[in-house]
Amino acid sequence: MSRRRWIILLLSFAATTGITGYFLRDGFSRPGPHPLLPLWAHGAALLAVLLEIGTRAVKIHWAAASLRIPLRFGTSLRVCLGGDFAASITPARSGAEPARFLVLAEAGVAPASSLLILFAELLLETWSLVALCAVFLVVFRGEGGVLGLMTTMIGAYAILVVVAGVGAYSLAQRHARGPSPSWATAIGLHAGRWRAVQRALRALRTNLAALRHARIGPMIAAFVASLLHIGLRLSILPIIALALDPTLPLSSLVLWPLVFLYGGAIAPAPGGGGAVEFGYQLAYNGMMAPAVLAGSLLWWRFYTFYLYILLGGVSVGRTVLRARRTQQHGRLHERAARQTANKPGTD
């Protein structure tokens, strides 16, 4: 990233941690008991995080299998972690899909197949959210305000995914061959770049046809894994908050995190810039005691945001080092080939 983007990232994280620190100081300075999160709750939250990452990797693995694209589970795991890391340090989580694409490319997956896997993963996520929203509308039908917000948010997310898919299919159908359209030239896609785009569009058109003939069994398994990973991520706040105060209502502890985790993606600042923390305080102020609110916010953000940055950073670092080693080996082979070609007596 450029220096300007690093500065924006640091400022956003400073705002996020500063706001969290303010809520912690305010909560623990109030009179009254200050409950500590027990060790069993830490263990349960950590297990939920690891299972969530694992089931998300299973979802990507089975989604690829349903499309007859070979993809190892280890690669699927790196795709998840790399996307989590990039999403956390880019505005509006815009770096998630490019990072996942990079990990797939580093693993040797063809560009069109990578796009198809990522689009299938988004579709599965959307279907899972819609299914869970339908369940929540029945189970938590008394929670009118947050249910309306949740339904609006998930509906907008579903529409965005469908529009992206229709747009990609339209491009693949109309512009896979021929000269570049005027809008492509206007955004800097000259003839050489447009030809590369057209090659990807032709391959994407072929692979989109494969989506209609996906294998049903693996796709159902991927959908079940998608439901599980969302459920596990939503379970983290109930684990933490109920360990601090067992009298809290379960419905609010499940529904509001869904809004924070998916609605917070539209925040323009990396990491939300404190927007998630403010939303958390507004949602639970008055419901939770100040010390419980502060402690649950701290550990919930750790297990749903900061821990993913740490795990994703390790994954991305290993991927970058592996890519550099591959590049260096390629350069050594090229140098050896040139030296051999330049030796006297060689053709």
**Domain chopping of the chain, boundaries:** 3-342
pLDDT in tens, 120-140: 888 898 889 888 888 888 888
Q: CA angle 7-21-27, nearest 5°?
A: 160
pTM: 0.78
- At residue 140, the pLDDT reads 82
The confidence band for 219, taking pLDDT boundaries of 50, 70 and 90, is very high
Residue 288: strand, helix, or coil: strand
The confidence band for 50, taking pLDDT boundaries of 50, 70 and 90, is very high
Statement: residue 340 has pLDDT above 70? no
Residue pair 269/15 in contact by the 8 Å Cβ criterion: yes
- Transcribe 95-141 into DSSP letters: THHHHHHHHHHHTT--HHHHHHHHHHHHHHHHHHHHHHHHHHHHHTT
pLDDT in tens, 52-105: 999 999 999 999 999 889 999 999 999 999 888 888 877 767 778 888 888 888
- Name the most confidently modeled range: 27-31, 128-132, 143-147: 128-132
Task: Pull the structure tokens for residue 291.
Answer: 């010390």
